[in-house]
Structure 1
Amino acid sequence: MNSLLSGERPEIAGRALSVAPDDTVAFDDARPAAGDGVARELARLVDPSVPTDAAERAIAVDQTNTSVIVDERLVVKVVGRWAAADRAAHLLERLAGAGSTEVAGYAGRVDWRHPTLGTSALAIVTEYLPGAQDGWDWAVDDVAALLAGTGPEPGFPAVLGATVARLHDALGAHAVPAPDDAPALRERRALVALDAALEATGRSGGPTAARLANRAGRLRRDIRSLGATLPGLAFDLHGDLHVGQVLRSPGTPPRYTVIDFDGDPQLDASERGRTDAAARDVAHLLVSLDLVAAVAQKRLGRADPAAFAWADRARDSLLAAYRGTLVRSELLDPALLPGLEAEQLAAELTYADRFLPRWRYAPDAAITHRHPSTDELPEDPWTPPPFEPTST
């Protein structure tokens, strides 16, 4: 069930809520943490059967919001900034209403009605999935095993395609015609992303800069194709879909669930809430298969053409399963995929430049594989960096 708190500084577990001028949400001027009772009390507002002494356990990931496991059966996601979870709460509630099994079970949300800021989601409570791993672990494990000759051809690409198709069928029930200028806007956004990637890699230097510069014309050509497409249909997407947003839980067969509906973290909050074409989610997921191939090569400590040969097969399998499962076939315009994939590859490089420099090698590998070089600048062949067990 859903619950509502009211007031400028309501208390949870004896700690006063507050919102700073920069929209940071705090409890007695600090972020909540496992063991302080905040997550447990929020969980009890949604599910009164949670014991008053239920255990809290932190989820060991670095994130803007704070997620805590309560009673070993619920995950309480507490926002770090005002309105940060409104989009996710809305979409999870809609998917729960549609009976979707592609997401973790939705228990409810706790909203905060603030006297001057309005009402916003403070916390989302969902099912806890014991033993679940995200795709940067399980997908890379599967592909690395294949490349090492110790594992079979992974079957997950088809599962992912069918899973996302079912999500899109549920969310796409609210699809509306995109505005007439949608093709031009998509093209403009993608060109900005490519220019940002070129600037970032050029500023940082190194072999990635030459490889990207030698392929910028091909990327730009794919992006320009967006302007010649139809507006199509638009609806609320996942917005930041990649294998890392898919949990795999142990079982026979394993269970796959999609998480994190907050939208693209590189976009402003106002942009994350915009509707878009189904092809954007699909393009992002296809790109992530190429990134898995790059990470698997890093894991093995060598460049291996078999990795991208797998990615080629995996992309075909995912797309075939998506199209074969999608009931609302009018949602997908495949003509958008090349341009949106090119944009996402560029965005991955910019993300690496801004937040995670060690990630640059992965989109660099995908761009180098997918787009032929003009050889205008001297370039070195792509090779993976040394493997570090604590990172992708």
Structure 2
Amino acid sequence: MNSVLGGERPEIAGRAVFVAPDDGVVFDGGVGSDARPSAGDGIARELARLVDPSVPADAAERAIAVDQTNTSVIVDERLVVKVVGRWAAAERAAHLLERLADAGSTDVAGYAGRVDWRHPTRGTSTLAVVTEYLPGAQDGWDWAVDDVVALLADGAPEPDFPAILGATVARLHDVLGADAAPAPDDAAAARERRAAAALDAALEATARTGGPAAARLANRAASVHRDIRSLGATAPGLVFDLHGDLHVGQVLRSPGSPPRYTVIDFDGDPQLDASERGRTDGAARDVAHLLVSLDLVAAVAQKRLGRAEPAAFAWADRARSDLLDAYRATLVRSGLFDPALVPGLEAEQLAAELTYADRFLPRWRYAPDAAITHRHPSTDDHPEDPWTPPPSEPTSS
């Protein structure tokens, strides 16, 4: 069920919540990170009880994750309460999860409801989204890499998850694409401009930081740009509400026989401004992002192995083919997907991964560097070293 709070400073678990001038959602009595909810303060529990009155008044809370925008807390070992850190940060996710729930989708965690906030001057926005908690679930940067390392190091069977992911995303697209509409006539040019800007940003970032990745990207920029230019020759196609930030890390695998795969985090691309995250696009964008993430899994697996291993990208080649075959075989609304968009959107995403690393996570640079080095031929204009993985760190990808 859904619930609504009203007022400029509604009280939750004894603390008033208000919207700061920068649109941050702040709880009274806290400074910095303490201005957000945290496990044990009762805020997530009270929000959960507004959606599901069967939650005990003394239900336990446990921290699960803090990201740049939201805070998630496990309540009663059965619900996850995601509380926004900024006004309007969860509108998109709540809307898409409701649509999927109404369609009976089991490819996402069960949707329990949301708590909206009716503000006297700002209107109504989602304050919290409550979903099913999946015990023992891991995200794909763990389970997918584990599977590939087991294949390469121990001779384990070929992982079957690429085809599972392809079919899963096709089912999600069939639901979300039910109200797809024709893209504007200038969609092809707009996609090409956006992708070219992503490459320019990646070239600037790598040139500024220097190192081997800068030379490897410079030597492959012409090839990457060729793929980007292909976007300008594509048809506008159909557009709808996508996942928007799809990669293996957004797919949880829960223990079982067979294991359950669920797609999470429908908030959109975190590198875009909040006002742009909800824009519609063609299905190929989600598919391209997911294909790129298989190459990134291959890079992380090589880091785990402690060596450059050509068999990792040989696996990625097979995995990409399996994912695409399963996606196209499962997709009922076939008109949603234009394969001609994939090369250019992949090129954009690879560039965006480098920029993301520059802005937020420098140690991640090696992964998109590996994928670009593998996928694109070099002009050899600049001296470059072969790509090799950095030393493995037990707690990071």
Give the TM-score, by structure 1 length.
0.99
Query: Does 2:100 correspond to 1:101?
Result: no
Partner of 2:294: 289
- Residue identity matched to 1:12: I
- Residue 21 of structure 1: SS of its match in structure 2? coil
The reply on whether 1:24 has 2:24 as its aligned counterpart is: yes
In structure 2, how many angstroms separate the alpha carbons of the residues matched to 1:358 and 1:329?
A: 39
Q: Is structure 2 residue 8 aligned with structure 1 residue 8?
A: yes
For 1:235-259, what per-residue CA distance to the aligned partner results, in whole angstroms no more than 9, with x for missing partners? 0000000000000000000000000
Counterparts of 2:67 and 2:125, CA distance in 1: 23
Q: CA 1:309/1:61 → structure 2, altered by over 3 Å: closer, same or farther?
A: farther
Consecutive unaligned residues in structure 1, runs of 5 or more = none
Deviation (angstroms), 1:149: 2.2
Instruction: Give the conservation status (yes or no) of the 8 Å contact 2:80–2:130.
Output: yes
- Work out the CA distance in 1 between the residues paired with 2:69 and 2:10: 22
Give 1:269 shift.
1.1
Q: Is the 8 A contact 2:10 2:16 kept in 1?
A: yes
SS of residue paired to 2:72: strand
- Match of residue 344, structure 2, among 299, 315, 339: 339
Query: In structure 2, how many angstroms separate the alpha carbons of the residues matched to 1:61 and 1:34?
Result: 11
Aligned residue for 1:76, secondary structure, equals strand
* Structure 1 residue 61 displacement after superposition: 5.0
Cα deviation digits, residues 42-99 of structure 1 (max 9, x gap):
0000000000000000004544211000000000000000000000001001111111
> What is the root-mean-square deviation of aligned Cα atoms in Å?
0.7
- Look up the match of 1:243: 248
Cα distance in structure 2, aligned partners of 1:386 and 1:150: 23
Asked if structure 1 preserves the Cα contact closer than 8 Å seen for 2:306 and 2:392, the reply is yes
Match of 1:275 among 255, 277, 280: 280
Give, as a single letter, the amino acid of the residue that structure 2 aligns with 1:265: P
- Name the SS of the counterpart of 2:130 in structure 1: strand
1:157 aligns with 2:162: yes
Where does residue 86 of structure 2 map in the other structure? 81
Deviations 1:156-175 (A, max 9, x none): 00000000000000000010
* Residue 164 (structure 2) pairs with residue 167 (structure 1): no
Separation in structure 1 between the aligned mates of residue 129 and residue 357 of structure 2, nearest angstrom: 29
In 1, the alpha carbon distance for the partners of 2:155 and 2:136 equals 23
Amino acid aligned to 1:22:
D
- Taking only the aligned residue pairs, the percentage that are identical comes to 87
Q: Deviations over 1:12-53 (max 9, x none)?
A: 001001110111101114110000000000000000000000
Q: Is the 8 A contact 2:69 2:89 kept in 1?
A: no
- Secondary structure of the residue that 1:347 maps to in structure 2? helix
| Distance in 1, Cα, partners of 2:66 & 2:320 | 28
Indicate yes or no: 2:323 matched with 1:329.
no
1:263 corresponds to which residue?
268
Which one-letter code corresponds to 1:49 in the other structure?
Answer: S
How big is each residue's C-alpha offset from its partner over 1:249-282, in whole Å with a ceiling of 9 and x where there is no partner? 0000000000000000000111111100000000
User: What is the number of residues matched between the two proteins?
Assistant: 392
Q: Which residue of 2 aligns with 1:211?
A: 216
Offset at residue 150 of structure 1 (A): 4.2
- Aligned to 2:74, the other structure's residue is in SS state strand
Distance in 1 of aligned mates of 2:219 and 2:24: 42
Give the AA of the match of 1:89.
A
* Residue identity matched to 1:141: D
For 1:56, the aligned partner's letter is E
Residue of structure 2 equivalent to 1:189? 194
